[in-house]
Structure 1
Amino acid sequence: MDRPLKDQFNELGQTSQTSPQYMEAVISALRSAISFDASCCTAVDPKTLLSIGAITDEPIERMHARLFELEYMDDDVNQYETLIKTKQTAAILSGALNGNLHKSKRYRMILEPAGFGDEMRAVLLSKGECWGYLTLWRKSGRPPFHKKERSLLASLAPVIGRHLQRLRHQAPKKDLFHMKHAGGILILSENVRPISCNEAALHWLSVFRGWEKIGGASIPRPIRAVCSRAAAETDDPAKTVISIPGQPLLSIKASRLDGFGPSGQIAVSFEPASPAEAIPLIADAYGLSEREKDIAYRIIRGLSTKDIAEALHISAYTIQDHLKSIFLKTGSENRRELMWKLLDDVLK
């Protein structure tokens, strides 16, 4: 008798070393329960909901740029942010439109011309935050996805989300490589085609392409995501922090250029993550709770136990209990060592 998919996904989560490896294994295992012709599984930054890496089938890769543009710059049915806000873990395009797929811009402009029919999406949530998206497609002429398949995917989504969260929070490795390849600048056209870049940006393009297993001419999803957000000219930040095993924490930011040259060009920068960006990720990597993070951040600022207790309106004895847990999780013996653990990677 086949094991339940939840058990399989949990085991895959424990044996996978990276999020792309886990996403690829999940998609392969999912085929035994749901029939689909193409898929895309994307890990996202829960703070910005921008892609930090994806595993995408070739037919979808060819139209991924247009899907990105519509997702971040236009309105349509079952968009990921809408699913998150409405707490709808999984949704079927045909079901949302009562079978009339032509009501969807995504279907009319992108999916139908590429030979695809129905689509099913899931947002991969864990502890109230979104850590990824999973999308499945069927070719035109095939039956639409069924409610039972949606229910199954909805039940599996939190399992996938939990493991994507864990894999994102692996402690970054120290690497002087970080400083060597700082200051990357990439200039792209309005339609996200590379125009020029420096050597550091070329390095990071190579790293991301290897991370996502995509060809040398493709723009990696994290870069495309921040560019789409910048081009949309919304109040949402066009930036994300990437954590790749064996690499330092990297901050990617995009800005629209409308000065002296052609309008609509986009500049993308690659810099070491700042302490404000990196310390929360490092604290998460050590498994600190929200209260423990509140206390750890105040220790970094130099507050005493008494000051922290007053700021958080709890007793000094409770602070000491939390500190014991923090020291245990981080392998620290005192406050000075804790500060070194949290700050060394970002100040080195």
Structure 2
Amino acid sequence: MDLIGRAERLCGAGLPDRVLRERLLAAVAAAVPFDAHVFTLTDPVTRVASSPHATVPTAAMEQLPTLIRQRYASADAVDWLRWLGRFGVTDLVRVPFEDRYGAWGWLELWRTGGAPYSQDDRAVLAALRPAVTRGLRLAAARTFVDPAADLPQIEPGVLVLDRELRVQSLTDAAGAALLRLLPPDEPVPPVPAAAYNVGAALLARDDDAQPWEPSTRVHLGGNRWVSVRAAPLGSDVAVSIGPATAAERTDLLARVHALSPRETEVLGLAVHGLDSRAIASRLVIAPTTAEDHLRALLAKTGSPSRQVLMSRVLGT
């Protein structure tokens, strides 16, 4: 089976996002060899990275905060590759996975010697985009169905970083959240990449390097999603970590299920408790049309009832 066929099969297998990425990487490696990689999920709106799967040179891993900060500050791929040269990286190719509903992640492959990526290599990787984009989006959609039973609640917390993204202080709740955000098998310092990424995005924006919005939503097991945001705190960076709000979850559920703008609007009103007649009045449409939209929401999200849909949206 060719690479595209394997990718389509994997993306249709209902795998969790991390398992999906691991198997996609194995398939890619057989067709387009690489020496290091970063395969990350992103917030569909802000495009800030949230959950990376990576193998990079040891020297680069030892400078992880600096590496991430430079990634956001780099003007383009040429600038980024030039900076990565200090770690022996000689060529890279980056494949974004985006559709009209948002940006779901990207894959970056590095080579540390040998031949650069050929045009054929780049064409093969670009051809993966439709299948993998849809696969990542649907993997996110499945998280709204996963039960959260027996999973601990996430309490809001704050982490303070300096401008080099070194930890200065953190609340107890932030420390607990960090441990849950960080996969136990990852060989990195005990600060998840999401915190580094929002911090780096803030610094890049403040330095007028790039117009990043310093926030990202991260899946935390079951149907739980947390919001990670960065804001200035004097000369430092304050990173807040807490449960995603109802509005953030509503937006995300609408995107992962490919809802239309009108369906998204109806969903938002339903989340606020409006019935079909009130929704019709608010949107100046016929009550039967509002009911049609609600039925479409149930069908697209695979929800057997409005009560189940609201539970999935709110994570209750």
Give TM class, smaller chain: 0.7 to 0.9
Using the alignment, how far apart are the partners of 1:344 and 1:34 within structure 2? 41
Provide the rounded CA distance (Å) in 2 between the counterparts of 1:38 and 1:175: 37
RMSD of aligned Cα (Å): 2.7
Indicate which of 275, 287, 290 corresponds to 1:316: 287
State the partner residue of 1:99: none
Tell me, yes or no, if structure 1 residue 242 matches structure 2 residue 240.
no
Per the alignment, do residues 284 and 233 of structure 1 end up closer, same or farther by CA in structure 2, a change over 3 Å counting?
A: closer
| C-alpha contact 2:66 2:164 (8 A) present in aligned 1 | no
Q: Comparing 217-226 with 145-154, which one deviates more in the overlay?
A: 217-226
Q: Which residue in the other structure is 2:204 paired with? A: 232
C-alpha displacement at 1:256, in angstroms? 2.1
Q: In structure 2, what is the equivalent of residue 174 of structure 1?
A: 148
Question: Could you say which residue in structure 1 is the equivalent of 2:102?
Answer: 129
Runs of 4+ in 1 over 6 A off after TM superposition: none
Show CA shifts across 1:44-83 (max 9, x none).
00111111111111315345433322232242x33xxxxx
Partner of 2:241: 270
Structure-to-structure mapping, 1:1-348, within 5 angstroms:
3-15=1-13, 17-59=15-57, 61-75=61-75, 77-78=76-77, 104-109=78-83, 111-127=84-100, 129-140=102-113, 142-170=114-142, 171=144, 173-175=147-149, 177=151, 179=153, 181-210=154-183, 213-215=185-187, 217=189, 219-234=191-206, 236-246=212-222, 248-258=224-234, 263=235, 265-284=236-255, 288-303=259-274, 305-309=276-280, 311-312=282-283, 314-328=285-299, 329-333=301-305, 337=307, 340-342=310-312, 344-345=314-315
SS at match of 2:128: helix
Shift, 1:227, TM fit: 0.6
The Cα shift of 1:152 comes to 0.9
Distance 1:287 1:255 in 2: 31
Post-superposition shift, 1:317?
A: 3.0
TM-score relative to the length of structure 1: 0.78
8 Å CA contact retained: 1:17, 1:167 = yes
* 8 Å contact from structure 1 (residues 209, 220) kept in 2: yes
In 1, Cα distance between equivalents of 2:103 and 2:288: 35
Instruction: Give the letter aligned to residue 256 of structure 1.
Output: P
More displaced 10-residue stretch of structure 1: 34-43 or 314-323: 314-323
Change (3 A) 1:151 1:128: farther
Partner Cα separation in structure 2 for residue 182 and residue 314 of structure 1: 41
Q: Residue 298 of structure 2 contacts residue 309 of structure 2 at CA under 8 Å; is this kept in 1?
A: no
Instruction: Write the distance in 2 (CA, Å) between the matches of 1:129 and 1:306.
Output: 31
SS for the counterpart of 2:132 is helix
User: Does the residue aligned with 2:268 lie in a helix, a strand or coil?
Assistant: helix
Structure 2 SS opposite 1:130: strand
Unaligned stretches of 5+ residues in structure 2: none
- For residues 61 and 24 of structure 1, the distance between their equivalents in structure 2, rounded to whole angstroms, comes to 19
Indicate if the aligned counterparts of 1:46 and 1:131 stay in contact, CA closer than 8 A: yes
Letter paired with 1:19: D
Q: 1: distance between equivalents of 2:155 and 2:123?
A: 45
Question: Following the alignment from structure 1 to structure 2, what is the Cα–Cα distance between the partners of residues 282 and 133?
Answer: 20
Contact 2:72 2:201 in 1 (8 A): yes
Q: Aligned pair in 2 of structure 1 residues 294, 114: CA closer, same or farther (>3 Å)?
A: same
Aligned residue type for 2:29: R
Deviation (angstroms), 1:40 = 1.1
Would the aligned equivalents of 1:283 and 1:342 in 2 still touch at CA under 8 Å? no
Query: AA paired with 1:270?
Result: I
| TM-score of the aligned structures, taking structure 2 as reference length | 0.85
- Paired residue type of 1:225: N
Task: State how far apart, in whole Å, the 1-side matches of 2:16 and 2:62 are.
Answer: 24
The answer on whether the counterparts of 1:295 and 1:308 sit within 8 Å (CA) in structure 2 is yes
Question: What amino acid is the match of 2:5?
Answer: D
- Measure the CA separation in 1 of the matches of 2:254 and 2:81: 42
> Is this contact kept in 1: 2:254–2:264, CA < 8 A?
yes
Q: Which has the larger radius of gyration?
A: 1
Write the distance in 2 (CA, Å) between the matches of 1:183 and 1:287: 30
Q: Is the 8 A contact 2:271 2:310 kept in 1?
A: no
The residue identity in structure 1 corresponding to 2:70 is: L
**Aligned partner of 2:198: which letter?**
V
Q: Determine if contact 1:330/1:341 at 8 Å carries over to the other structure.
A: no
Q: C-alpha distance in 1, partners of 2:286/2:293?
A: 11
Kindly state the Cα deviation for residue 121 of structure 1 after the two structures are TM-superposed: 0.9
**Change in 2 beyond 3 A, CA 1:71/1:298:** same
Of residues 149-158 and 277-286 in structure 1, the stretch that sits farther from structure 2 once superposed is 277-286
SS in structure 2 opposite 1:125?
strand
